[in-house]
Each structure stands twice: as structure tokens, then as C-alpha cells.
Amino acid sequence: MSVALNVGLLGVGAIGQILATALDADPSRAVLVAIADQDRPRAEKLAAQLKARPPVVEIDELVRRSDLIIEAASQGALPEIVPRALRAQKDLMVMSVGGLLEHDEWFGEAERQGCRIHMPSGAIAGLDGLRAAAMGRLSLVILTSRKPLAALRSARYVTEHRIDLDRLKEPTVLFEGPPEEACRAFPSTSNVAASLRIAAGKSVEIRVRVIAVPGGSENVHEIQAVGDFGRFRILLENVPSPSNPRTSRLAALSAIATLEEIIHNQRVQV
């Protein structure tokens, strides 16, 4: 008889709430044993709505109680949770993939500790094809992200460059650069760029364009890749989460799919 996976959840925003609800619906395979959020009242409100009534705890206690820690908070939360989890030899699922780009040491530490850092595909598709293409000569990857204004408000790049989004009357290119710069410029909406970098590898040229779309209602990502395999083009038109326009619903669903895969693999190993 397999043992249910103990899951700790950091972050109860749009994605965290969907994950918590999914876990609460079927505790036979995975149990939500604790949640944490910098907004404790929000976490306590969510906990009260769940059948499992998971305790709201601090990060160290979250790590102690969990077999798997799911980060659904922000890039800024990763330095708080990842080193603690790895020291405790706990597996992680990271939603804020952009925060991993400048921390190769975490992957090395995970290998040394015998644990894994899982990364859902997020708001895109085709990462398996991109990884396969990178086994040969992958010449160029271009990501064009078209975002509604609501998804860009308060972004670091918009604030630092004093861009008045409300004055835009037509689709406007706000940013062009590599994934690393995109993740620093748009920390809340650049996980797609980070996922492409991790899948393709550091040596591949990746160009990222962010386009603000006045009147837009979807987060649209177009991925083009060229290499000795040929070329491919993928277009995704993502419906934003009702509670957070910066988050695509597909990203939350990819987290549930990754959790299902983790649970399945655990049962196979048992």
C-alpha cells in the first residue's frame, strides 16, 4: 500500500489556490499538510475553506512537515525556500522558474542531496521538442509575448522606465533582450522565457520580445525555433486567471499535471 505524499504549499495566490483545491479534493494520494504566505490572513482564509484545514506555518515548519514543497509565491521567495528545502533533502516544485536562472548552484546541491527540483511547463507547450532540438544544433529561439495592459502594470521594467501604459493606443514593443534580462525586467510574467532558457541550454541564442496590447484580454506567446532539425512555431493564446491577469490558467493546470506525474512516479518507485 502506497503512502500519501505530504505536500507543503508556499504562496496562496491564483496558482496556489487552484493547487490547494485540487489537493483537498483527493487526499488519498497527496495531502496538503501546511501552507505559508507572507499575507497570513489570506492563507488563513484559504485554510478555513479546505476540508483538510492545513495549518498556516512559517517556512521552516513548512519544510519540516513536507515531502514535497510547492513554491507558488514569487521569484523573491526562492532564496528563502530553496536552500532550506535542499538542506532538508526535500523535493521542490518551482512555479517562479525565472528565479532559478541565476542559481545553478541549487541544481548542483539538489543532486548532492538526492532530491529534485521540478519545473512545470507553465503557460507554454513544446518544451519537450525544444529539449530534443537542443540535442543537435539549435540555432535560434524567438519568444514573442503579447500581454494585456493589466498583466504589465507594476512590472519593474514599466516602473523603472516610467512607461505610461494608458497612453498606448496600439500594440507596442516594450522590451527586447535575452531571457535573463527579461526575468529581471518582468519578474512576475517572465517564467516562459526562463523555461525556454532552461530547456534550450545556455549556449543557444534566445530573443525575447514583450509587446503591450491595449484592449487585449489574453496572454499570447509565440515560440519559434530554428536548428539542424528544421524549424517549429508554436502559438498559445492563454486565458488569464480571473484573480490575477499576470497568471495564465494553463500555468496552474501545468502545476496540477506535474503533481500528478510526481505522485505517479512515487507510486512506481514504491
Catalytic residues: 221
**Contact by Cβ (8 Å): 219, 193:** no
Beta-ladder partners of 121: none
CA 62 to CA 7: how far, in whole Å?
9
Instruction: Using the CB atoms, write b or e for 2-29: b if 16+ within 10 Å.
Output: eeebbbbbbbbbbbbbbbbebbbeeeeb
CA dist 10 and 90 (Å) reads: 14
Instruction: Report the SS3 class of residue 165.
Output: helix
Contact 107/86 with Cβ under 8 angstroms?
A: no
Report the C-alpha gap between 17 and 49 in whole angstroms.
10
Residues 182 and 198: their CA atoms lie apart, in Å, by: 14
Q: How far apart are CA 211 and CA 58, in angstroms?
A: 38
Q: How many residues does the chain have?
A: 270
Burial tier of 169 (Cβ tally within 10 Å: 0-12, 13-18, 19+):
exposed
